């Protein structure tokens, strides 16, 4: 150590380098640095739960994020959050990402960076048979008490679907089912993967009312951690391709849980996330007196998408689709987005005051999603089938105010990107070896 001090910074750097080389030679790998702080609720089985306040959380999200950390040689620090505090904790920097069965929602997209989807779930109400015999209408009436986790996605669903019932918002998600067990409420809201865990707590058959919504689960990353989000996306796409994600879904969520992180599915999810922000954009524009159509902004969005695509292609060594269909895809999205905004603006029930600021929050969020789309376009297979893409888009594009004609237009634009990549592949395969750089590539 005295020698290191005598040689100054250069000597210390050499000692560190030699120590690192020794670790690598011994097969130990580099030391784990820069711990990643992971926010988790530990109250939402099977995504994240713990047997007690001091127990280590486990579940689908925790096993998955620990596998990523092991592969990337990163240390993890788990930070517990309460659902009402999720976005505030993310903004304040308590953690770098949240991994706890986080539902993709517009206000969360505005606050952070979602990864590609990990899973899909559907929301249901659980009630005793006599209460639920009339379905949603039987629960949505005065005198009916429905318990739901406070501050989470389920509370939003409950308030939208049961406006006439009395909602009991509970800060501790694990305590929600207890209110039904004790007879203090008539029903509770949960999802199809959490419901089996709750069913073990009550010794009588429960009726299911729903589904009330179909949702995507993803990890939510701080907006200033784009490099981390990109790495998580790349890792999750690879784990979907090699079967790891399917295996973990079957283990924790059930064998029938669908794939979500293949390139096409993830791209459609990103487009849907973008379009789901449009009612907020319409509300913000209406509040701020901004025009619905801003041509210079649209040009910026398209050119930014192309720049993101080319930068990611250079970084990863992947070949990008031709520029023309990529431009067309983003223009289709912009046209669809304007139509959604117009329909939302004409909706008398659209709240205007709750929308985030247009320039400082919503537009940066849209650009973040656009960058993820560009990255996913590079992974899109070059041999997609048009009918299959249309079918996938009709299922995956669920944002409010959309119609099937718009879904088909987006699907056709995605297919054109895939077809353009396929043409390039075929052109390279048939290009004469002696033709040099003069060969025409469509």
Are the C-beta atoms of 263 and 380 separated by less than 8 Å? Answer: yes
**Per-residue confidence (pLDDT) for residue 33, from 0 to 100:** 64
Task: Phi first, then psi: give them for residue 98, nearest 5 degrees.
Answer: -110, 130
**Per-residue confidence (pLDDT) for residue 174, from 0 to 100:** 87
Residues of the chain with pLDDT under 50: 1-28, 434-442
Closest CA to 139 of 169, 160, 162, 158: 162
**Per-residue confidence (pLDDT) for residue 341, from 0 to 100:** 96
**Per-residue confidence (pLDDT) for residue 380, from 0 to 100:** 94
Give the C-alpha separation, 59 to 38, whole Å. 14
**Per-residue confidence (pLDDT) for residue 10, from 0 to 100:** 35
- The beta-strand segments (E) located in 90-205 are 97-103, 113-114, 119-128, 145-149, 166-170, 187-191
Alpha-carbon distances, residue 347 vs 257, 284, 343, 399, 401 (angstroms): 35, 14, 6, 15, 10
**Per-residue confidence (pLDDT) for residue 92, from 0 to 100:** 97
pTM, to two decimals: 0.87
Which H or E run includes 160? Answer: helix 153-161
Cis peptide before 46 (omega within 30 of 0): yes
**Per-residue confidence (pLDDT) for residue 203, from 0 to 100:** 79
Count Cβ atoms within 10 A of the Cβ of residue 6 and give its class: 0-12 exposed, 13-18 middle, 19 or more buried: exposed
Domains of the chain, with CATH numbers? 34-119+217-252 (3.40.190.10), 121-214 (3.40.190.10), 263-426 (1.20.59.10)
Query: What six digits make up the tokens of 83?
Result: 């659902």
Give the C-alpha separation, 180 to 241, whole Å. 41
Instruction: Classify residue 95 by its DSSP letter.
Output: -
Alpha helices in 242-294 (DSSP H): 244-252, 263-276, 278-288
Count Cβ atoms within 10 A of the Cβ of residue 207 and give its class: 0-12 exposed, 13-18 middle, 19 or more buried: middle
**Per-residue confidence (pLDDT) for residue 439, from 0 to 100:** 35
List all residues 6 or more positions away from 66 whose beta carbon is below 8 Å from its beta carbon: 76
């Amino acid at each position: 150590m005295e020698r290191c001090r005598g040689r100054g910074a250069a000597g210390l750097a050499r000692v560190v380098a030699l120590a690192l080389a020794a670790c690598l030679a011994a097969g130990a790998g580099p030391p784990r640095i820069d711990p990643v702080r992971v926010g988790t609720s530990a109250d939402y089985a099977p995504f994240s739960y713990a047997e007690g306040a001091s127990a280590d959380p486990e579940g689908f999200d925790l096993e998955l994020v620990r596998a990523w950390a092991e592969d990337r040689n990163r240390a993890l620090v788990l930070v517990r959050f309460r659902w009402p505090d999720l976005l505030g904790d993310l903004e304040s920097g308590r953690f770098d990402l949240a991994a706890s069965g986080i539902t993709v929602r517009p206000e969360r997209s505005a606050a952070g960076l979602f990864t590609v989807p990990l899973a899909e779930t559907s929301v249901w109400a659980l009630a005793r048979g006599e209460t639920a015999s009339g379905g949603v209408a039987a629960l949505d009436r005065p005198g009916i008490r429905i318990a739901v986790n406070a501050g989470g996605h389920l509370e939003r669903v409950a308030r939208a679907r049961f406006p006439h019932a009395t909602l009991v918002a509970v800060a501790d998600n694990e305590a929600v089912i207890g209110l039904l067990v004790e007879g203090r409420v008539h029903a509770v809201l949960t999802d199809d993967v959490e419901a089996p865990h709750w069913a073990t707590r009550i010794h009588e058959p429960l009726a299911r009312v729903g589904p009330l919504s179909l949702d995507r689960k993803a990890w939510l990353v701080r907006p200033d951690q784009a490099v981390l989000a990109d790495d998580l996306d790349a890792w999750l796409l690879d784990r979907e391709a090699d079967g790891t994600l399917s295996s973990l879904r079957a283990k924790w969520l059930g064998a029938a849980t669908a794939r979500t992180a293949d390139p096409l599915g993830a791209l459609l999810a990103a487009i849907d996330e973008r379009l789901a922000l449009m009612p907020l954009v319409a509300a913000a524009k209406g509040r701020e007196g901004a025009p619905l159509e801003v041509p210079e902004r649209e040009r910026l969005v398209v050119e930014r998408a192309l720049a993101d695509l080319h930068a990611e292609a250079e970084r990863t060594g992947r070949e990008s689709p031709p520029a023309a269909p990529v431009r067309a895809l983003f223009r289709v999205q912009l046209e669809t987005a304007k139509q959604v905004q117009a329909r939302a603006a004409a909706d008398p029930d659209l709240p205007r005051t709750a929308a985030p600021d247009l320039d400082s929050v919503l537009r940066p969020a849209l650009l973040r999603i656009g960058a993820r789309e560009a990255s996913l376009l590079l992974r899109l297979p070059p041999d997609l089938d048009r009918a299959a893409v249309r079918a996938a888009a009709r299922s995956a594009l669920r944002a409010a105010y959309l119609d099937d004609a718009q879904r088909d237009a987006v699907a056709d634009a995605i297919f054109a990107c895939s077809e353009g990549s396929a043409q390039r592949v075929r052109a390279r395969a048939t290009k004469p070896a002696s033709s040099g750089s003069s060969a025409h590539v469509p």
